[in-house]
Structure 1
Amino acid sequence: MKTVLNFMMSSEEYQVTSEIHEKSDVDTSAKPHVSPKNIITNFVFKVPSFLSWITGNLNGLRVDEDGDLLVRRRNMPAQDAVIAIEQSHSTTLQFVGLQVWRGALVLADFMLHNGLSLIKDQTVLELGSGTGLSSIVAAMFAEEVICTDVDIGTILELIKANFARNNKYIKAKYSVLGLDFYARQWSNNLEAKLTVVSVVIVADVVYDNDLTEAFVRTLERIMNVPPKKTVFIALEKRYVFTVADLDCVAPCYDFFIGCLDKAQAKSNPQWKVDLLPIDFPQFFKYERMKELVLMRISL
């Protein structure tokens, strides 16, 4: 199945709604902190056995709310947990980061499956953190998580609010900093953090060609700061029908790949770009489609 952005007309601009909302569990009893127009969505996920502390386990054994031991029988299903995310139901294209998209859930699944080997005790930087969901999952494993996004609207405030709402899952130190892909100068705090970052995660930032070019320039700049960094990028190929091609094509994705190729040819031939399989276990509830892409860039 090929997917496209879901647009709704507004009196002023097009409104964009994430397809995730269609099957999401909205918690009508929870109160948003950043905007009364926001919704609280419960993202249910299966807790891997090695994260037993999340479900009240002690040394691999589960206990109930009174502290009594619960014997775990063979073939018992994995325990469920919930990450509650405040987000917008619809936004203009400029503020799509205020919603959760499928790429963030794929990235979260990937980290839940590989967190012990890839990000445990590492310093992780997320670019375009949006609602902060991917960073919250990273914070279950990492030593430190640095959430970044452009400092406009309520984006940074939303990330902080969602971290506070899900504090019980946070084991890492974390900070929320502004980072504009178009900016020539970054804060001294961010520049200092880059010198200890070893893993960069990114989800759903490829949807506008100008922004994509700026994102790749930002990526080049970050990758040039020691120590060596590994980047994981999750996104969805979004198809549109064009008269020129007489077919459904994914122009934003193709443009992104072209930008990566140019950057690699120009000054980063040592970059190794790999497309990773997405057949790892699914912990979150969403439709994992073949249009979803997970990419690794390493040195």
Structure 2
Amino acid sequence: MRIHHLNCGCMCPLGGALYDGFSHGIKAHLVCHCLLIETDSHGLILIDTGFGLQDMRRPADRLTRFFRTLNNIQYRDELTALNQVQRLGFRAEDVRHIVLTHLDFDHAGGLTDFPHAQVHLMQQEIDTAEQRHSWLRRERYRPAQWSARSGWHGYQAAGERWFGFDAVNQLQGLPPEILLVPLPGHTLGHAGIAIRQPNGWLLHGGDAWFYRGELHQAQRHCTPGLRFYQWMMQADGAARRKNQQRLRELSLAHGNDITFFCSHDAQELQRLSPGFSID
């Protein structure tokens, strides 16, 4: 199993270091941290998809004006998962499975670029995305990115627990090393994705946290911009805070056993993918 850390989207909201903690100018730099996993017998597996090619080329048809403006999304074809898969010498058809943390517009946009892939996520996320009854749900869940779905698999927590967390241990057609770890709060069906490696675990935490300072220390530290964004986007604030606290405790107790990273922290991506440059 070979794992590539990819940036499948760039967002540069106004606020600079008040958002990302490091930018010197007025614009922050947020990424869409995805994984491409090469396997011997299961083809390629994508963990989240970031923005898709059609998001880059027809943003007004796929993304709302509010989030296009607030997040200052950068429209660059070369950042799409499809483009990066092809640059690595593969075809779109080689991506046989996609595992999603959730269905927000900046995580699920690439689904339409891989129409033959089997898609795995929590059933609660599917159910919630289909019930777009509030302003926030209509803004975050964009059916143009995923409504023509086939080969989707929705899961409930079942099987052995993972470091005390509920988990889905058997994803259909996927190797047993890949688990869904329900982490509701940001969305009701949000999940982390745990991957067993010979030397420990990776945990893609999705949007369960946004900033590197929220884990690995007893006292949470997060920039004002990302504190606000997490509050604005939360579907269940109490669940989000509880799960983030549990993850913080897990990172302190098992920091040598688990490599933690979230979706949007550029410095976390840079640490795990030395070839990545923040621009």
State the TM-score, normalized to the length of structure 2. Answer: 0.36
| Higher strand residue share | 1
